[in-house]
Amino acid sequence: MKPLRYVSLLLLLLSAVVAAQSGQRAKRVQRNEEMVVKQRIQDEWKAWYAMDVKRAGTFYAKDADLVFFDIAPHKFTGWSEYEKGVTQLLAPYRSLGGSLNDDLAVKVHGNLAWSTGTVKMVGVRKDGKPDDVLNLRMTGIWERRQGTWLLVHEHVSVALPSAT
């Protein structure tokens, strides 16, 4: 009877070790995927700062019924509408600049991820006149499709100036 207890105890201990390793592996995979999405966000914003709408488009899913919110004209349905609208929005500008703030956060759950953060952006119009710095908020919903993380929803809005 005692050998059976030892075998049972050994199997239980082995199961616990395997479960712990599996959990650690899953956390490593999740952290890695979060870093991949964060890099995608940084690359997406670099494309926007470069005013390269085609390159920015590589970060978005192309489903016709997806909704993207931006600062103007607020709502776009599908990437083709977004591409057209943002091209018009950027037309008066010579250049854009800015930076992601250090509050960028990403959470991954399976093939879905969500991101939040804030961005500073400034534009220089074609006449050389700079715009005021915009403090933007962004939220993204990402889906991993065929191994690539794509935005399936994004919400970018201008934060109102704080009353101090």
Q: Which residue reads 């997406």 in tokens?
A: 44
Q: How many CB atoms lie within 10 A of CB 86?
A: 21
Q: Give per-residue pLDDT as tens, 37-71.
A: 999 999 999 999 999 999 999 999 999 999 999 98
Could you tell me the end-to-end alpha-carbon distance of the chain, in angstroms, rounded to an integer? 76
What is the domain-level CATH number for residue 142? 3.10.450.50
Model confidence band, residue 163 (pLDDT cutoffs 50, 70, 90): low
Q: Is residue 106 part of a domain?
A: yes
The pLDDT assigned to 129 comes to 96
Quick one: pLDDT band at residue 164, thresholds 50, 70, 90?
low
- Which pair of tokens denotes residue 48? 């926007």
Domain assignment present for residue 164? The answer is no
163 belongs to a structural domain: no
pLDDT digits (tens, 9 = 90+) for 78-110: 999 999 999 999 999 999 999 999 999 999 999
Q: Which domain holds residue 128?
A: 2-158
For the stretch 102-154, pLDDT in tens is 999 999 999 999 999 999 999 999 999 999 889 999 999 999 999 999 999 99
Give the whole-angstrom CA distance, residue 12 versus residue 131. 65
Q: What is the enclosing helix (H) or strand (E) of 152?
A: strand 148-158
Q: Which pair of tokens denotes residue 123?
A: 């534009």
- Whole-number percent of the chain with pLDDT over 90: 73
Number of folded domains in the chain? 1
Q: What's residue 20's pLDDT?
A: 67
